Amino acid sequence: MRLDRFLCEMNLGTRSQVKAYVRQGLVSVNGAVARDAAAKVDERSDRVFFRGQELKYRKFVYYMLNKPEGVVSATTDKRDTAAVALLGRDCREDIFPVGRLDKDVTGLLLLTNDGDLAHRLLSPRKHVDKVYQVDMARPLDAEDIRQLEQGLDIGEERSTLPARVEVLDAGRILLTLHEGRFHQVKRMLQAVDNEVLKLKRIAFGGLVLDGGLAPGEYRELGEEEVAVLRSAASKHEDLDSCTAEYADAEQEAGVNDG
């Protein structure tokens, strides 16, 4: 890739800023001071230094964000804080949120530039687990739980896929879904005459929210955590052809979680 692009992807500044760094002699490649920002470098083998510090290039990056209320799951937004902006100096132009949590939904949001992994995790043809902590207006009774777990009508052509309910206390459950329809958790609770008061995603694709992250904080994923996500995206079988056709339509509609 071009040297200036390499430097930009290492978060050293804008294209014009990194070109200025090259002109100032602050960048070297394989021991020689770089003179041309447009020169090609091999990010896999060339050794690039900025102000004497070696830059280790990584094609893909993965971050876990504990999304707070009021933040939108986007790369940019004219009115509200975008999730990607919370990465600060770690933000790269190619990073995006994997899926969308509603503005009032908190919890685990994956941020990456790995488009292939994101596509496989979000594909409606896959049964990737999403676990939510749900605070409700009233406790669930046995019939409510039965309906949620067997699948129910939320006003679409097809009922929801079977979910899993774990009661934590009278007004709080863990709800595990295997799909991501528009406002799905809220609509499922409405279908059993209940209401979501607070909603927090605590797990996604086997990745569990780090309890040490305060709202708005993030950290980079470890190799084992990335492997968990890749396994989740690979091991789930495609749905049958009939359901797959519906899944394609669901994907075109731009479904989101929460």
pLDDT tens figures, 199-222: 999 999 999 999 999 999 999 999
pLDDT digits (tens, 9 = 90+) for 39-70: 999 988 999 999 999 998 888 999 999 999 99
Fold of the CATH domain 3-55:
3.10.290
User: Does CATH place domain 62-252 in 3.40.630.10?
Assistant: no
- Catalytic residue numbers read 102
- All CATH 3.10.290.10 domain ranges of the chain, comma separated, are 3-55
Lowest mean pLDDT among 80-89, 202-211, 234-243: 234-243
**Given this model, what pLDDT does residue 215 score?**
97
**Given this model, what pLDDT does residue 246 score?**
40
Q: Which residues, in sequence order, are CB contacts of 5 under 8 Å at separation 6+? A: 15
pLDDT digits (tens, 9 = 90+) for 118-147: 999 998 877 899 999 999 999 999 999 999
Q: How far apart are CA 123 and CA 115, in angstroms?
A: 12
- All CATH 3.30.2350.10 domain ranges of the chain, comma separated, are 62-252
Lowest mean pLDDT among 59-63, 89-93, 155-159, 160-164: 89-93
**Given this model, what pLDDT does residue 256 score?**
59
Q: How far apart are CA 120 and CA 109, in angstroms?
A: 16
